Amino acid sequence: MDITTKLKMNNGKEIHQFGLGVWRGGAETKNAVLAALKAGYRHIDTAAVYGNEEQVGEAIRESGIPRDALFITTKVWNEDMRKHTVKAAFELSLKKLGLDYVDLYLIHWPVKDEYIHTYKVLESLYESGKAKAIGVSNFKTHHLQDLLDHTDIVPAVNQMEFNPQMQDNDILKMCTEKGILLEAWSPLGSGACLNDENLKTIGGSHGKSEAQVIIRWLLQKGIVVFPKSVHENRIIENADVFDFTLNDEEMALINGMNKNLRTGPDPDTFNF
Ligand code: NAD
């Protein structure tokens, strides 16, 4: 396993298992993406609502890395689902990114009464070739079952909050059974999972930080992970996770840290 390791999605295409998240990257997004690409990252996770697609696009162009060596994800925001402007939102994302296709396009949140018709638009974007894969985010098991019952293309991924203190193993099991890759958002709990004694001890025995232990734990679980940082030293640190292995005991210890404690909103009660 290394920084370019890819997993096969259910449509036969591949996704880099490790990448960079850019939520709240602010004005530093472009430099963060450039630093990540320099460090060997090839997968960037953004979203229309992050307001930084242009910066991601600028960094891609400036890096000179061929488009087909990169994996770029963006997401449709709730307001466009409610206004039924999903196709226009997708075109705008492409324009801001300066790309003629994205590797993955996701429904950001399961907006009640809106996600089925939205997903049907995503299916048409997939068929047009402008979204090489489509999927969802923040779909609990009941959202996912409803989607599977009413649409044709099984999502390639489901992006959920997943970290040591928030492990939704029901959705992980369902995704595995349906051939849907789980992507972990806020893998570090936006920082809240760090400074833990168990993680510190495990890290100590491998010469690694708590952040590196969490990232490695997710990779070994077969989950896609894109920690966020805008600092070059941390961007490099977070990718330095391919020269050690957590043993079964260490994996079990972290699996046992679940508190069902979200840092973000619950997909059943969010109201934005
Ligand atoms: P994260 O869990 O990756 O944590 C990032 C924060 O942890 C940083 O801001 C920094 O404070 C700290 N950090 C990062 N590396 C560190 C290191 N090596 N040492 C110490 N501290 C470190 O946070 P996130 O941004 O919430 O999640 C990652 C990505 O997931 C996002 O950027 C975004 O792409 C995606 N995401 C998606 C959704 C969704 O609804 N689909 C929601 C949240 C995040």
Q: In this predicted model, what pLDDT tens digit does every residue of 197-228 receive, in sequence order?
A: 999 999 999 999 999 999 999 999 999 999 99
Look at residue 79 and tell me if it is in a domain: yes
Instruction: Tell me phi and psi for residue 50, to 5 degrees.
Output: -70, -20
Quick one: average pLDDT of 22-46? Answer: 97
pLDDT at 171: 98
Question: Which pLDDT tens digit goes with each residue over 148-158?
Answer: 999 999 999 99
> What is the model's pLDDT at position 152?
98
User: What tokens does 139 get?
Assistant: 């779909």
- The answer to whether the beta carbons of residues 222 and 7 sit under 8 Å apart is yes
Q: What is the pLDDT of residue 236?
A: 98
The reported pLDDT for the residue numbered 213 is 98
Q: How far is CA 235 from CA 20, 43, 83, in A?
A: 8, 13, 37
Give the side-chain half-sphere CA count within 13 A for 219: 27
Which CATH number goes with the domain that contains 120? Answer: 3.20.20.100
Do the bridges between strand 104-107 and strand 71-76 make them parallel or antiparallel, or are there none, so unpaired?
Answer: parallel
- Write the residue with the smallest CA distance to atom 26 of ligand 1: 186
Residue 201 covered by a domain:
no
Structural domain range at position 152: 6-191+223-231
Q: What is the mean pLDDT of residues 79-89?
A: 98
Q: What is the average pLDDT across 102-108?
A: 99
81 within a domain of the structure (yes/no)? yes
What is the value of pTM for the model shown?
Answer: 0.98
Q: Is residue 159 part of a domain?
A: yes
Into how many domains does the chain fold? 1
The residue whose CA is least distant from atom 25 of ligand 1 is 228
CA proximity to 229, closest of 39, 48, 88? 39
Decide whether any atom of ligand 1 lies within 6 Å of the 236 Cβ. no
272 is a domain residue = no
Q: Radius of gyration over alpha carbons of the chain, in Å?
A: 18
Q: Which two tokens stand for residue 119?
A: 């997903």
Is any ligand 1 atom within 6 A of the Cβ of residue 158?
no
